[in-house]
Amino acid sequence: MMIFDQRTYTCRAGTIKKQLALYEEHGWGPQTRHLGQPIVYAVTEIGNVNTYVHIWAYADVSDRASKREAMQADPDWQNYLAVSGEAGYLIAQDNRILVSAPFYSPPGEFQSLNKG
């Protein structure tokens, strides 16, 4: 069954642009190399403007685990984690695993993951 990994990050006030620039420079490449393109990568426009959200699609929990394991082993990803940790912009993280509503069909580029 296809799953979605929703990840919400909260930054210290006034640092979200710095965090996103840091991620774009050091994290985007290795993360998308292993996980593919996210369904969503967005900043909050109304609400807590210190948060951003990304949602990744996987065929199932095993697919998620194997892709994330490979990413964690990547030296480029490890470098991003170190640089991000040193910057100290992130203060909270909330992750959720979601499944599709019965009537939902994912966008075309994610259809190959939808085996269920």
DSSP notation for 38-61: -SEEEE-SSS-TTEEEEEEEESSH
What's residue 100's pLDDT? 86
- What tokens were used for 78? 């490890």
Under 8 Å between Cβ of 45 and 81: no
pLDDT band at 25 (very low <50, low <70, confident <90, very high): very high
CATH topology of domain 3-97: Alpha-Beta Plaits (3.30.70)
Task: Tell me the C-alpha distance between 96 and 92, whole Å.
Answer: 14
**Domain spans of the chain?**
3-97
pLDDT digits (tens, 9 = 90+) for 62-97: 999 999 999 999 999 999 999 999 999 999 999 999
Query: If you ran DSSP here, which 8-state letter would residue 96 be given?
Result: E
pTM exceeding 0.85? yes
